[in-house]
Amino acid sequence: MSITSQRGKRGGTIAEFGTAFVVLVVFFFIPLVNLSFIAVRYFIAQGLIQEYVHRLAQVEKRSDAYSMLSSDTWWKDFCDRCGVTVSSHVLKLQVCGANSGEKITVNGGAPVSTQWLPGGSKGPCVYTMDLFVDVNVPPIYSGGPSVPGITSPLPLQIAAHSNWENLSRNPVTTEYFINE
Amino acid sequence: MNRLAAMSKKLTIVMGITSIAAAATLALAPIAKCTEHVDRPFEWTVEIDTKQLKNQFQYNGSELKELVKAKMSYFKMTDEDNKTDYEDLWYAKSKTLGMERHHKLDITQGDAICIKVKHIGEYTSYDEQRASGKAVMKAVLDAAVNKNMVATIKVPMTSFHTIAAEIENYHFAPAPASTPDNPVDSDMNLFLESEPAGLTQSFAHMH
Amino acid sequence: MIRTHERKNIRRNSGNMLILSGVFITLLAVLALVACSFGGLFFVFNRIQTTTDELALTGARKLNEQDRIGQMNNMIARCRQLVYDAHKSHTYAYEDASQLNQLAEQLHDEAREGAILLEAERQKLRVVAVNEAKSAITERYEELKEGHSLVLPWLKVAIPTTPMVEFGYAKDIRSNVAELKGIDDLEMEDNKQSFVLTDSHLYKENIDAKISTDTELHFRISSLPAPVQSTVAPARCILAKQYKSLVAADLPSVCKVEMKLGVDTGIGADAHQEMKSTGIAVATGGEKVL
């Protein structure tokens, strides 16, 4: 009987070790590394968008925030350089009242009603600017059959929030800046 | 007949006396009511309400913390409910800091005025009393510029002496009693009296 | 019995796939962690930005504590009106009513003394407000700084540097002083000198509203958000483009804080970098005049 033909009983070593190793690396480890870059790009985009909404919340009037959002391109360009593509964005104002569960969302340039303004009956309220950005986050390598997250960009929505700063009133019009 | 005539004559005399008495009472009533104006008549009152302000200029080393506000308003003697805000003055450590005029002094030229000081608050500090005196002198000047004579100045009894001393700082001296052949030479006189009544002082302006 | 030359051909039958997989997975996990921590630098930046904003707000609130700057602005405008009126009365007395001249002159001198006192107090307030704001910022910084440092084998985030503090004012924020009417001549002079804004009827910010009759006296009115129908403007953060440095000796209403954070990656030529964050906040606005 030839010993060389006996296979290990423990099953730890296989004759096709090299092939298996290659398969393991190509189909497991490399895709994992590929995917991990999605996480890195996501974190970068999240941080950038958070910083941007923080700036939007510091403008004088709410209309200035919308103007700034439509005219600024630097943050989108930066995302592009990091590999993240911004497809669309929406800016909203969320107002949370004094009682839990009481809140409204104001879209676009719609005014905040009197009861929800500072000093209103629902107050004291917390005002938050919410920026929702739809992004496509690609892995390191894209190509071949389209599998989102593996061979093609993963569509995600990044939400960032920041407290609206200017709760004062315009001395000329006497309106709250949040409503201008 | 004679008795009847005598009785009617007596009745006529009694009726006459009664009517004279009634007429006299009616005539004297307003005088009795205005006894205080008999000596110093005035048509207008300029009221100075003083108040010690708190929480003003709160910082280390502030010289302006003890701020006093003097609010001046005026009204016609017979119309106390219809006051017109004239101006507000602010004082700190007896220095005049500021003024805000609300309305011009719309008092008919030639009319006499009474300046009346009131303190708001239970306790009146020395600084507030001095500030009242300064506000009085401002009112005196404004009245004089508007060609109004200051008939009398009424101040609370508690601050009478301080205000009197403050008036003297403006070259007004307690007027000596004028005697025949020794008139007092002065171009402006002020009469200070307390409320409630009890203290009075006349001042003459000295050059 | 196995012969020696045949032993060499015997394959080892002890398994090593598990070990290899384990090593690779560990390596992969470490790589992922390293990658994520670099990606997380943006979070570090957001944290330092939040801290800088908080420090700026702390300083800004201290500037106009108990409305001292608002009160000073209002009193300066009222002092101006007093001096003007006293001068006018003095001029009238001097020219047309000599018996009043002495009294008018004394009241005029007192008004001027009040203006000089007020200017001295304004300069004192400027120093006090700035020093107190800096102290408050330093105190708060000492409380917050430790929470930022991070030490990983491949990434070191240092404690943020001591903040650099500057004081100024905000663009488009006027003074808190409403136009004073009551003396027609002075009102006309204000309009002529453009001291008052026609839309808001507020005095302009950072002006020396000298009166033509007495140019020796200074009446500096500083920038501060005005109250609107008893609504007082709360302290808030603003964008960097709204900040302006103070040129003259005006009272500050904006606090700017800059902090740097050292980040050491230990990789490549640019192993050490500094993140800079800036926080700018406007002081609480003026209150209604008592």
Cα–Cα distances (Å) from C99 to A38, A83, B22, B107, in that order, read 91, 88, 48, 21
Quick check: is A52 in a domain?
yes
- Pairwise CA distance, residues B174 & B151, whole Å: 16
For A134, the domain range is 17-179
Whether chain B lies against chain A with 3 or more Cβ pairs closer than 8 A is no
Whether residue B90 and residue C78 make contact (CB cut-off 8 A), yes or no, is yes
Quick check: is C146 in a domain?
yes
Quick check: is A9 in a domain?
no
Torsion angles phi and psi, residue C8, rounded to 5:
-65, -25
Quick check: is A1 in a domain?
no
Asked whether residue A174 carries a pLDDT value surpassing 90, the answer given is yes
Quick check: is C26 in a domain?
no
HSE of B185 in the Cβ direction (CA atoms, 13 Å)? 4
Most confident segment among A82-91, B198-207, C106-115: C106-115
Whether residue C129 and residue B100 make contact (CB cut-off 8 A), yes or no, is no
**Pure H helices in chain C:** 4-7, 17-39, 41-63, 68-96, 98-144, 184-192
- Pairwise CA distance, residues C7 & B134, whole Å: 121
Quick check: is C148 in a domain?
yes
Quick check: is C20 in a domain?
no
Binding partners of A (≥3 Cβ pairs within 8 A): C
Quick check: is C141 in a domain?
yes
In the DSSP assignment, the letter for residue A159 is: E
Quote the pTM value: 0.85
Closest Cα in chain A to C241: A59
Q: pLDDT tens digit string along A31-54?
A: 777 777 888 888 889 989 999 999
Quick check: is A31 in a domain?
yes
B28 CB-near residues (< 8 Å, 6+ apart): none
Q: Which helix (H) or strand (E) holds C220?
A: strand C220-221
Quick check: is A12 in a domain?
no
Whether residue C236 and residue A167 make contact (CB cut-off 8 A), yes or no, is yes
- Pairwise CA distance, residues B125 & B144, whole Å: 29
Whether residue B100 and residue C99 make contact (CB cut-off 8 A), yes or no, is no
Quick check: is A146 in a domain?
yes
For C112, the domain range is 40-282
The domain total for chain C is: 1
pLDDT confidence of residue C47: 86
pLDDT confidence of residue B74: 97
Quick check: is A11 in a domain?
no
- Pairwise CA distance, residues C235 & A53, whole Å: 19
Best to test chain C binding among A19, A22, A28, A36 (most C CBs inside 10 Å):
A36
- Nearest CA to A140 out of A28, A29, A38, A27 is that of A38
Residue B200 binned pLDDT confidence (cut-offs 50, 70, 90): very high
The domain total for chain A is: 1
Provide ipTM, 2 decimals: 0.85
Closest Cα in chain C to A64: C239
Whether residue B188 and residue C71 make contact (CB cut-off 8 A), yes or no, is no
- Our CA angle for B184, B185, B190, nearest 5°, is 75
Whether residue B141 and residue C103 make contact (CB cut-off 8 A), yes or no, is yes
Most confident segment among A4-8, A147-151, C171-175: C171-175
Whether chain A lies against chain C with 3 or more Cβ pairs closer than 8 A is yes
- Nearest CA to C69 out of C166, C163, C198, C169 is that of C169
Best to test chain B binding among C69, C117, C122, C132 (most B CBs inside 10 Å):
C117
